[in-house]
Amino acid sequence: MRTVYAVSGGVSKFAKSRPDKTYPAIVKEAYDYAIADIGLEHPQFFELVDGTVASYFSDHFARQLMAGIIAQDYLGMCPKPSHRVEGGGATGGICFQEGWKAIASGYMDICLCYGFELMSHVETWKGNEFIALASDVSFDYPVGGFYSGYYAMMVTRHMAEFGTTVEQMAHVSVKNHINAYYNPYAQKRNRYTIQDVRNAPMVAWPLTRLDICVMSDGAACTILCSEDGLARLEKAGATISRPLVKIAGIGRGTDAMRMADRPHQSYEDFYRYNALPNEMDDDSRAYYKELWDRGFRYPGVHSFRAGRMGSKEAYQNAGLTDPLNEIDFVELHDAYTSSEIQTCEDMGLCRYGEGGQFAASGKAFMPGIDYGLDLPEESVCPVNPSGGLIACGHPVGATGLMQAVFAIWQLQGAIGKHFGDPALQVPDARCGAIHSHAGTGTYVTVSILERE
């Protein structure tokens, strides 16, 4: 595999509604920003780029089949090669990885990945219905198809299994909203307290409105290239910032569409198939043995095996063995405060069952930001320094690419330049992970980006 560099990106301002422009024109905002950031204009970039990958989730939201080619056409990318990818909430992450594949395999030297979703064209509860159609329409949807309900069931099991509390979940909401306060691209830039989160209207017990991400209109794109592509870009006058950001490894996992079908594996099988290198020590083995002795089974409905397998593969490809201490920040798919907690466990930032304590410990918070919370520990690995889906919004096809753009800017040390405020710049960021997640944990992608 060839080395793949992520050299630039752009994000449209995420908003509840963008009736001022059609979706191809919003994609163009992100694209124009990305090429301008490396000092190129469209005619120059068009001569250099080998092809594109388009990302959007729902034909229902777009009410337009083949929406990808309309964006390709509007961007002025025809007749370059392109294809559309779709994998629920992970669509953007899959797009990023398909761009990586195009470069790593030698098929392309320069690839543009772009994604979008306009969710404001239907009313909120119709939008929830569209999203719920991404659950089994024979056995899940007709019972009360509602993703917040599906995730809330996972929460109650997590609470019963591990003693996770709603206050621990609320820490995630407070953190991500206050982070987004410094991110001009975010849809919701508010300061909340734990009490605000708990007092917000109940949506699906125990998840309140402030535990849940919002629907959004938005677009994002990234430019990926090989060594040869980098030389071509620079020869044409592009200004690529140093140190370079490379994609050090990717990973993907899957799990059963119906949450009810997830296995309840044994301790032995967990260690055979799912454990991470940092869980191979005697202490972790004893910890997990005790969990299994108490009736814990893996993954059940409380954990995302797809997220674990995606992490495991990505870490192996990037040579990581101690994620909490080797990764400087994570942008992960916090569609729910609870799913951030579950995902921190899947990604091995803490052990299964410790996610609630981890969320409230302070380890996942940004240093130097006042959250109005009494956090017992220092920041170790900020999770969702951008504000995540909960505060930035979740225009599905753009979300995974938004994470990639924010990760590129973190590793370039350019958050201050792009956000107009350096508050969210992770100090000396060298390694970042992005995590994109679909359904109830059906497709999950994890990509590791490193500063060279």
Partner 1 sequence: MSDQKEIVSKRAETLGGYVLHNVPFPRELNEETLALLKQMEPILIEQPYSITYLHSYGQDSPFFAGLTNKVFLGSREPETGYTYATPRGHCMYSGQETEWVRFPDEGTIHAFTVCHFGSEEFLPECPFVLIQVEFEGADTLFLGRLLGVDPYDATTDWIGKKVKAKYLRLSKFKPTDVYFVLTEDS
Binding positions for partner 1, rule: CB under 8 A: 19-21, 63, 123, 125-126, 128-129, 131-132, 137-140, 142-146, 148-149, 152-157, 159-160, 201-207, 256, 258-264, 301-302
Amino acid letter, 24:
P
Closer to partner 1 by Cβ: residue 206 or 413: 206
Pairing of strands 298-299, 217-225: unpaired
Q: How far is the CB of 43 from partner 1 (least distance, A)?
A: 23
* CA distance linking residue 55 with residue 86, whole number of Å: 6
Closer to partner 1 by Cβ: residue 166 or 332: 166
Task: Look at residue 392 and give its three-state secondary structure.
Answer: helix
Task: Look at residue 136 and give its three-state secondary structure.
Answer: coil
Q: How far is the CB of 206 from partner 1 (least distance, A)?
A: 7
Closer to partner 1 by Cβ: residue 267 or 406: 267
- Which of the 8 DSSP states describes residue 212? B
Tell me the Ramachandran region of residue 60: left when phi exceeds 0, alpha when psi lies from -120 to 50, beta otherwise: alpha
Query: How far, in Å, are 200, 351, 364, 389, 416 from residue 176 at the CA level?
Result: 16, 22, 10, 8, 18
Closer to partner 1 by Cβ: residue 124 or 239: 124
Q: Which residue has the tokens 């192996």?
A: 316
Closer to partner 1 by Cβ: residue 306 or 448: 306
Q: How far is the CB of 67 from partner 1 (least distance, A)?
A: 15
Q: How far is the CB of 167 from partner 1 (least distance, A)?
A: 14
Q: How far is the CB of 214 from partner 1 (least distance, A)?
A: 13
According to DSSP, the residues that pair with 437 across neighbouring strands are 444
Q: Which helix (H) or strand (E) holds 138?
A: none
Closer to partner 1 by Cβ: residue 207 or 244: 207
* CA distance linking residue 349 with residue 133, whole number of Å: 32
- Is residue 192 within 8 A of residue 210, CB to CB? The reply is yes
What are phi and psi for residue 380, nearest 5 degrees? -120, -50
* CA distance linking residue 323 with residue 330, whole number of Å: 10
Q: How far is the CB of 272 from partner 1 (least distance, A)?
A: 14
Closer to partner 1 by Cβ: residue 119 or 327: 119
Q: How far is the CB of 259 from partner 1 (least distance, A)?
A: 7
